[in-house]
C-alpha cells in the first residue's frame, strides 16, 4: 500500500511540475492544523477537544487575469486525536499526504476564495498510551487499524497583502472513515478504536502563510 501511495504522490508531483513549467505558478506554504474527530466519545469517557498539528508543502496556481482559476497542492499534514477510556489514556498521531484540487475565485488582486475536493493518503500512524496498570507503550502498527485513503472537500479564503506573500485559512471536511470499521462488540480491538462499530470522522481547520514566486 505504501508503494501505491508513493506512486500516486509522484504522479501528482509530476503533473503539477508540468503545469508549473507552463504557467510559472509555484508557491510554498506552511501552517497549523486544528483537528476535531467525531465519535471519539464512543471510545472515551470524556469529550475530545481539538488537537493541534502542522502542515507544509507546495502549491501550483497559474496566474490568471480573470475571475476563475485553479490550484493544485501537495501537502504533508500531521493530524490525530486524543483518547481516554477507563483503563488507558493516550493519543494517536497520523501523517497524511493531502492532495487538494481547488477552483479559485479572485474578486480582487488581494482576496481569493478557494473551494474543491481533496484526497488524503495515510503514510504513518502511531498510538501512544498509558494504562492504569502498565508503563507507557507505543503501538507502531496502528496503521493496521486505519483506512489508507480518505477524501472530502475543502474551502477557504486567502489574502495577498503584498507581492508574493499569501495568508489564508481553510476548512477540510473528510467524508470517509478514519478507522477500519469493526462490528459492534468486536473483541481484541485496541483502546483507540471504537468497539461499538462507529466510524471516526474528522474535520480539519488550517491556517497558513506562504510565498508565491
- What does pTM read for this prediction? 0.81
* Number of folded domains that form the chain: 1
Q: Are strands 51-60 and 26-38 parallel, antiparallel or unpaired?
A: antiparallel
Q: Residue 184: its pLDDT value, please?
A: 54
Q: What is the CATH number for 164?
A: 2.40.160.20
pLDDT of residue 85: 73
Q: What is the pLDDT of residues 52-88, one digit of tens each?
A: 999 999 999 988 778 999 999 999 999 998 887 777 7
Segments of the chain with pLDDT less than 50: 1-3, 5-7, 10, 14, 16-22, 46
Q: Which of 205, 191, 86 is nearest to 156 (CA)?
A: 205
Q: Which domain holds residue 87?
A: 2-212
* Per-residue pLDDT at 54: 97
Q: Is 29 helix (H, G, I), strand (E, B) or coil?
A: strand
**Per-position DSSP letters for 96-135, written without gaps between them:** EEEEEEEEEEESSSSEEEEEEEEEEEEEEEEEEEEETTS-
**Other CB atoms within 10 A of residue 112 CB:** 21
pLDDT the model gives residue 90: 83
Cell match 499534514: residue? 77
The per-residue pLDDT of the chain, averaged, comes to: 82
Return the pLDDT at 185: 53
Q: What does the pLDDT read at residue 48? A: 59
Q: What is the DSSP letter of 188?
A: S
Amino acid at each position: 500500500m505504501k508503494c501505491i501511495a508513493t506512486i500516486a504522490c509522484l504522479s501528482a508531483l509530476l503533473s503539477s511540475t508540468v503545469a508549473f513549467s507552463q504557467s510559472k505558478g509555484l508557491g510554498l506554504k506552511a501552517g497549523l492544523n486544528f483537528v476535531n474527530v467525531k465519535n471519539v466519545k464512543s471510545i472515551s469517557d470524556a469529550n475530545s477537544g481539538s488537537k493541534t498539528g502542522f502542515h507544509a508543502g507546495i502549491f501550483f496556481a497559474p496566474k490568471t487575469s480573470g475571475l476563475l482559476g485553479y490550484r493544485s497542492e501537495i501537502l504533508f499534514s500531521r493530524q490525530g486525536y486524543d483518547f481516554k477510556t477507563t483503563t488507558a489514556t493516550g493519543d494517536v498521531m497520523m501523517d497524511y499526504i493531502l492532495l487538494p484540487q481547488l477552483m479559485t475565485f479572485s474578486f480582487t488582486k488581494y482576496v481569493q476564495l478557494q473551494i474543491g475536493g481533496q484526497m488524503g493518503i495515510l503514510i504513518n500512524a502511531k498510538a501512544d498510551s498509558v494504562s492504569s496498570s502498565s508503563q507507557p507503550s507505543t503501538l507502531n502498527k496502528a496503521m493496521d487499524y486505519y483506512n489508507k485513503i480518505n477524501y472530502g472537500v475543502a474551502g477557504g479564503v486567502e489574502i495577498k497583502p503584498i507581492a508574493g506573500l499569501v495568508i489564508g485559512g481553510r476548512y477540510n471536511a473528510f467524508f470517509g472513515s478514519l478507522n477500519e470499521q469493526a462490528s459492534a462488540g468486536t473483541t481484541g480491538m485496541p483502546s483507540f478504536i471504537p468497539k461499538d462499530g462507529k466510524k471516526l470522522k474528522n474535520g480539519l481547520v488550517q491556517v497558513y502563510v506562504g510565498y508565491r514566486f
